[in-house]
Amino acid sequence: MTKKIDDKTIAYVSTLASLELLPEEKESAKKDLSQMLDFVDCLSQLDTEGVSPMSNVFNEVNVFREDEVVNSDGSEATLHNAPEKKDRYFVVPKTIEP
Amino acid sequence: MDINELSALELGQQIQKKEISVKEAVEASFQKIEEKEPTLNCYVTTDYEGALLQAEAVQDRINRGERMGALAGVPIAVKDNICTKNLRTTCSSKMLYNFVPTYDSEAVTKLKNAGLIILGKTNMDEFGMGSTTETSYYGVTKNPWDITRVPGGSSGGSCAAVAAKETFLALGTDTGGSIRQPSAFCGVTGLKPTYGTVSRYGLIAYGSSLEQIGPIGKNVSDCAALLELIYGRDVKDSTSVVECDASPDGSFMGMLKEDVRGLRIGIPKEFLAEGLNEEVKASVLKAAHGFEENGAIVEEFSLANVSYAIPAYYIIASCEASSNLGRYDGVKYGYRSKEYQGLTDMYRKSRTEGFGTEVKRRIMLGSFALSSGYYEAYYLKALKARTLMKQEFEKAFAKYDLILGPTAPTTAMKLGENLQDPIQMYLGDMDTIFANMTGCPAISIPCGMDSKGLPIGLQLMANCFREDTLIQAAYAYERFSEA
């Protein structure tokens, strides 16, 4: 499963991660990621035939509750944290060209 | 009398008896903060005025004769990834440099209801990713025992603040050892509860299936009292378990008994293997011997597949992190880049400028391990390894009430020593990650000093929901090791 991390992979992973890397950061990311993959690659030697994966340590059952409103309108306080806002809205760069 | 020398429960008692006012307690903590912070940097944000207002309100409640718990009026510090209404919460990241939560986390709500006074928010590794508190955007925290050394992490600020008496208690969080390892390095007591027993509502997510909020204090009794407060089911957290309602009143204070007779304790041989510092080993074995002398049955045993634990842990933690940290996009809160072209570029630049190196490293690893073509080889494989670990622990707990070992293979490192070598840092988590991978509770208690004068931590793990056994054994150890 060992995999050499090339420029293409780094570019792909940074797109997935929505991160932009400078040329020198790309080099160290390549090294980092290869090193970390080498480190975790030993897992491939572990026999997991017939073992089911566990994403939660206790029973994995859905937890449902009624969707009832228990809080009041917190929009003003919420908007207070916005990097940019106008009236009662978050402001983002234009996403749809006219 | 020096107020700061009291334990949290002693202080609580004096406050109930009106020997000490809540304001005096808060002033005492802030005096220490003023004296120590320029050197140690345990806090990202302190809230003197807010604390005085809380103190006044709590004192009123006490004076009116309201029945309050054992910790009413006691000052506490809260790790900076736990949301506090109207008090800045940064996760020690530039990304959240100006984030002011609009609500309290469930744990903090419980603290406030019980009359504890929040002094401020403690420093940590950025988003909890690190074991030294050096990846904080707000500067490193120094170990109060030796300021050339790290306090451990990621709850390094919380543990150092308790050790330096800049607070009586603290809340930390533990994803892979983040309460226990810094507790060991700072010579304080810290407990990671069973997964799902303390609400994560309002905890800023990093590794959701691994992390828990837990108490940090000067001794086992203080931690038991704080755990009793924050423990319990919360419908606002869908991973909160019903089992914690079943335990009798969740009473941990009742477990403070000096009795370990007949307790079966296992020591995994792998925890004593190479890489373990000799002085740490000697202290831990001495502690084990102490349990034996007091009537416990202690033996060594072997845990299978130990070498797969750290790789599996880092894959799972990184995958969950890459998903959880996807929410930081510069739109609704937090850092937004100043220059960008269009929406996608704004997301990317805000994240690139807002996150530090270790956070980006783990997001990259997680994104890779979850990507098409690698998902099965890495993420799914790690989840299967986790199943095997859980089974291994179930076997161990069928034989033993407690698993004993070191909290960390070494004492506190020099500042900067591990920062350049992530793999080395990850290996240091080897003793602690099992509790997170399997969900079981674990505690770190001081068990002596090394020749450099640095504290050593003893770790005890118990079966899921057996905080009672854990607390009783830790309390007993504290007692008989003093004698």
Whether residues A43 and B355 touch (CB distance < 8 A) is answered with no
Min CA distance, B427 vs chain A (Å)?
10
Number of neighbouring beta carbons within 10 Å of residue B133:
35
CATH code for the domain in which residue A32 is found? 1.10.20
A69 touches chain B (CB under 8 A): no
Residue A11's domain comprises 7-45
**pLDDT band for position A85 (50/70/90)?**
very high
B265 alpha-carbon distance from chain centroid: 24
User: Which of A66-70, B58-62, B83-87, B156-160 is predicted least confidently?
Assistant: A66-70
pLDDT, mean of residues A67-73: 86
Instruction: State how far the Cα of B186 lies from the Cα of B457, in Å rounded to an integer.
Output: 9
CATH code for the domain in which residue B43 is found? 3.90.1300.10
* pLDDT tens per residue, range B308-360: 999 999 999 999 999 999 999 999 999 999 999 999 999 999 999 999 999 99
Which pair of tokens denotes residue A37?
A: 């993959």
B206 within some domain: yes
Supply the pLDDT for residue A58: 86
Supply the pLDDT for residue A36: 85
Q: Is the pLDDT at B123 greater than 50, yes or no?
A: yes
A26 within some domain: yes
A90 within some domain: no
Instruction: State how far the Cα of B149 lies from the Cα of B143, in Å rounded to an integer.
Output: 6
Q: What's B456's DSSP letter? A: E
Supply the pLDDT for residue B249: 53
B169 within some domain: yes
A84 within some domain: no
Instruction: State how far the Cα of B422 lies from the Cα of B418, in Å rounded to an integer.
Output: 7
* pLDDT tens per residue, range B180-195: 999 999 999 999 999 9
Q: Specify whether the CB–CB gap between B262 and B483 falls below 8 A.
A: no
Supply the pLDDT for residue A14: 95
A24 within some domain: yes
A54 within some domain: no
Does the active-site annotation cover B367?
no
Q: Is the pLDDT at B87 greater than 70, yes or no?
A: yes
Q: What is the residue type of B379?
A: Y
Q: What residues of chain A lie within 8 A of the CB of B426, using their CB?
A: 39
pLDDT, mean of residues B23-29: 98
Q: Is the ipTM of this complex over 0.90?
A: yes
- Phi, psi angle pair for B214, to nearest 5°: -155, 170
B362 touches chain A (CB under 8 A): no
B396 within some domain: no
A33 within some domain: yes
Kindly state the percentage of chain B with pLDDT values over 70.
Answer: 99
Q: Is the pLDDT at B139 greater than 50, yes or no?
A: yes
B42 within some domain: yes
Q: What is the mean pLDDT of chain A?
A: 88
Does the active-site annotation cover B93?
no
B207 within some domain: yes
Count: domains in chain A = 1
Instruction: State how far the Cα of B185 lies from the Cα of B288, in Å rounded to an integer.
Output: 20
Q: What is the residue type of B421?
A: D
B420 touches chain A (CB under 8 A): no
* pLDDT tens per residue, range B448-462: 999 999 999 999 999
Count: domains in chain B = 1
Residue B52's domain comprises 3-255
Does the active-site annotation cover B221?
no
Supply the pLDDT for residue A29: 86
Supply the pLDDT for residue B398: 98
Instruction: State how far the Cα of B89 lies from the Cα of A13, in Å rounded to an integer.
Output: 29
A2 within some domain: no
Q: Is the pLDDT at B245 greater than 70, yes or no?
A: no
Supply the pLDDT for residue B250: 57
Q: What is the mean pLDDT of chain B?
A: 95
Supply the pLDDT for residue A1: 44
Q: Is the dihedral of CA B141, B456, B128, B163 positive or negative?
A: negative
Higher-scoring residue by pLDDT: B303, A73 = B303
Strand partners, B79: B122
Which pair of tokens denotes residue B442?
A: 């674990």
* pLDDT tens per residue, range B214-241: 999 999 999 999 999 999 999 899 999 8
- Helix B357-370 × helix A23-40 angle, to 10°: 60
A77 within some domain: no
pLDDT, mean of residues A67-90: 91
* pLDDT tens per residue, range A7-39: 999 999 999 999 998 888 888 889 888 988 888
Q: What is the residue type of B377?
A: A
Q: What's A87's DSSP letter? A: T
